[in-house]
Amino acid sequence: MGKIPTEYSHQQLVDEMAKLSKLPMEQRMKIAKNKRLEQLKLYQSSNSNSRNNNRYVDNEYVPRKGSNRETKISFDKTALLFDAAAKSDIKEVRYLITTGNCDKDATNCHGMTVLHQSCVDHNLALIHILIKELRADVMKADHEMWTPLHTAALLGYADIAKFLLDNGADPLSLNAELNMPYDICDDPDTLDIIELIFFGRGVTQNRIEELRNKSESAMLSDLTSEWNKFGRLSFQGDNGETLVRLLLLLYYYH
């Protein structure tokens, strides 16, 4: 199968669903994981190049000497926070958050926090500061309901996964595809850590399936309520998503 695009038009989604519906579940899961990895790579690339070779004074872009541009451009302070995190500038991250300039759980256009970014960057030192000192929300999910633990599990960062779990991350959290961190992890050490948590909490396969079914049942309940109330599935989210499209996405992943 060809390269999976990071964003779908409606027709692309329908065409891709027809292909994926013929594949075994394990292969569908692999495609979904590869799609997410590709998204993370694109994010890392755009983030690292966003402010390359520029100079910033008091949150403003200042053209280098010899440039014909005289206008200063002010940047959103959240962008400065993400830039500092990407550069592993712990002092700047701490300053921006503790002075009230930035929310510790501020998000970018993807719904990712600096804690998510630090997991992508495998920056355990910054993760420690964000959680232990700055009290970042370890369970804050992005637009696709990926928690920092999902990211660490996908990338196979066992040390980060353990730290997140030791500080309140829920190994049973479900993303938009109804995957738990365990489902998208291939790294043996990370899997061992999560399995140990499951064992200690008495989590069984039946319990895991109950949680998945609960999410699907809640969605069905919302659909039924919408239909009974309006006679049509008219709901539209902030990003233009409809209930029918969400159902198609659910089918795509499952």
Residue 74 phi/psi, 5° resolution?
A: -85, 140
The domain segmentation of the chain, as residue ranges, is 50-172
Q: What is the pLDDT of residue 211?
A: 85
Enter the tokens of residue 128.
Answer: 């420690």
* Residuewise pLDDT in 10s, the chain (254 residues): 444 444 445 555 556 655 655 666 566 556 666 666 666 666 555 555 544 444 444 444 444 455 455 545 455 789 999 999 999 999 999 999 999 889 999 999 889 999 999 999 999 999 999 999 999 999 999 988 999 999 999 999 999 999 999 999 999 999 888 899 999 999 999 999 999 999 999 999 999 888 887 766 676 677 677 667 766 666 666 556 565 666 655 555 44
Contacts of 94 (CB under 8 A, 6+ apart): 129, 133, 134
CATH topology of domain 50-172: 1.25.40
Q: Edge-to-edge strands of the sheet including 55-57?
A: 55-57, 60-62, 73-74
Residue 73 phi/psi, 5° resolution?
A: -120, 120
Q: What is the pLDDT of residue 144?
A: 87
| Neighbour-count burial of 130, counting CB atoms closer than 10 A to its CB (0-12 exposed, 13-18 middle, 19+ buried) | buried
